[in-house]
Structure 1
């Protein structure tokens, strides 16, 4: 069995896999809403954020040992990558927990997203999108080969913190987030990639968009496609049009029912996704259940231990 811990900007997650014949099967999937991006001040992670990360890692480590997994493989993404005290924070967390942390670069995160999703998707060519709490990974691929990849320093939690004054974004705040996303696309030359009708979406934000899509359009829980028109309608439907602190009760009840753990961040994440969809003239999004954790397992753990060919 293998234990993988993903330290994200919004959530921290422990997944324990059993691998048979080179294929992993999830035995346990434990998530904690760490919201580490909210502990960043002046570009640095403050002590409370480091304490939060240590507390969750210690609890994960105890749980894993109780289940017979004595060696956790821990990696961090934008949560610890996009801070000015990155190395100091990583070193302190490692010293306090006794766990080694692999700090992934944006390029590595994008690659592992693709490697994980590639084993589950039917789309041979397209654009892969992963919207995390502090970064957004984009991978353009053709015939299952990566053509371009980039990690943009924008995410659902960072956009909420930067632009949203109350619980849900207003129309004016939505437009500011959209403008920021378009600016990043141009700044990082992603605008040169050209149109792409199909997206493979990975990660928690897009999985929760899929849940909302199934709820609003009365689709099967097994549905994995979100069409662009549906996404755009949901963004307009859920934004705070009243420009007040109080939001419509119907909106709040919907999100608490369908995506309770992401009430604050789902809308900024949807706005990021919708802006990308419009920019690349996307028609539909296929939602994958695999992503960076599975890619990390394949490339960093199983391959090195000779468990599979990759």
Structure 2
């Protein structure tokens, strides 16, 4: 069975095509557009321009699915549309104009699917799973392969960039303002107060970009997925918008994070604060997440 999955995120809109045979899941291809829906939230309301952008991309994806007669399709959306004051109306208009039913998954559901997808092939029995999205950050603590605590926090890479950053890259002062909000928000997650020395599995675009940037800066092989958290502040400082970037640094940004140049540093600031809070020495990037978790939980389980 060919299965199409569309993930309308706060930063990107993605479509992935999977082949599912029994319990075997193989991703055949994926397409994405960096739309930045979270940036179209004005005073909590999703603007018409954001709705129009989503519709345009979804119509393109739908035409692709129809061309290959892929009829098993699910579309879901996360923080940007979920948290909008006009969420129901905005999602309803997108559904009407595209003919695609869209499921608004809760922060709790997103954290659960993240966990299922990322830990399916993970060797660690205990630790933290973190997904820094465009408008929200999901944190899951787990032990013996089971969830202990989970939370969705209202901080994200694109939301921070939109709120605090005026240039392409943040200044030192803007970095500090983002760091302070991240620290205050993460302190509010009191259910995680006792978590210490936790290994972190990072999923999603922020950690994917961070891993690529890390490997380029520190001469690690392309396939390396482990990042020492002690080096994250150095990455942030190197790309401080207050300093002039030389040609080599600009080239590294363009080669490693072409779609996330404007959001990778805000995302890394959240990662830095989380690593400090949980006294974590290493972050391991996992390429599986919410979409794979949805398949394991909602498709294969039925």
TM-score scaled to structure 1, two decimals?
0.94
Residue pair 1:130, 1:137 contacting (<8 A) in 2 also: yes
In the other structure, the counterpart of 1:265 is: 263
Partners of 2:142 and 2:172 lie apart in 1 by: 33
Shift of 1:258: 1.2
**Given the alignment of the two structures, is residue 88 of structure 1 paired with residue 89 of structure 2, yes or no?**
yes
In the other structure, the counterpart of 1:144 is: 145
Residue pair 2:167, 2:241 contacting (<8 A) in 1 also: no
Partners of 1:90 and 1:190 lie apart in 2 by: 32
In the other structure, the counterpart of 2:237 is: 236
In the other structure, the counterpart of 1:308 is: none
Partners of 1:248 and 1:70 lie apart in 2 by: 49
Q: Secondary structure at the match of 2:283?
A: strand
**Deviation by residue 1:248-302 (Cα, 9 ceiling, x = unmatched):** 5443332112111111011101111111111111110111110001001111222
In the other structure, the counterpart of 1:282 is: 280
In the other structure, the counterpart of 1:37 is: 38
Shift of 1:247: 5.2
Between 1:51-60 and 1:221-230, the stretch displaced more is 221-230
Shift of 1:193: 3.6
Partners of 1:196 and 1:167 lie apart in 2 by: 34
Q: Secondary structure at the match of 2:201?
A: strand
Give structure 1 stretches of 5+ with no counterpart: 305-310
Shift of 1:160: 0.2
Rate the CA distance shift 1:302–1:23 in 2: closer, same or farther, 3 A. same
Partners of 2:214 and 2:258 lie apart in 1 by: 15
Partners of 1:32 and 1:84 lie apart in 2 by: 24
In the other structure, the counterpart of 1:21 is: 22
Residue pair 1:10, 1:33 contacting (<8 A) in 2 also: yes
Residue pair 2:137, 2:156 contacting (<8 A) in 1 also: yes
How many residue pairs get aligned? The number is 301
Structural mapping, 1:25-104, within 5 Å: 25-104=26-105
Q: Secondary structure at the match of 1:146?
A: strand
Residue pair 2:41, 2:80 contacting (<8 A) in 1 also: no
Match for residue 251 of structure 2 among 250, 253, 268 = 253
Shift of 1:70: 2.0
Q: Secondary structure at the match of 2:259?
A: helix
Between 1:203-212 and 1:63-72, the stretch displaced more is 63-72
Structural mapping, 1:109-124, within 5 Å: 109-124=110-125
Match for residue 299 of structure 2 among 285, 288, 301 = 301
Q: Secondary structure at the match of 1:110?
A: helix
Partners of 2:295 and 2:262 lie apart in 1 by: 30
Partners of 1:237 and 1:31 lie apart in 2 by: 28
CA RMSD of aligned residues (A): 1.4
Give structure 2 stretches of 5+ with no counterpart: none
Residue pair 1:123, 1:200 contacting (<8 A) in 2 also: no
**Deviation by residue 1:178-222 (Cα, 9 ceiling, x = unmatched):** 111111112232551421331001101101111111111211222
**Deviation by residue 1:115-140 (Cα, 9 ceiling, x = unmatched):** 00111211110011101111000001
Partners of 2:186 and 2:229 lie apart in 1 by: 19
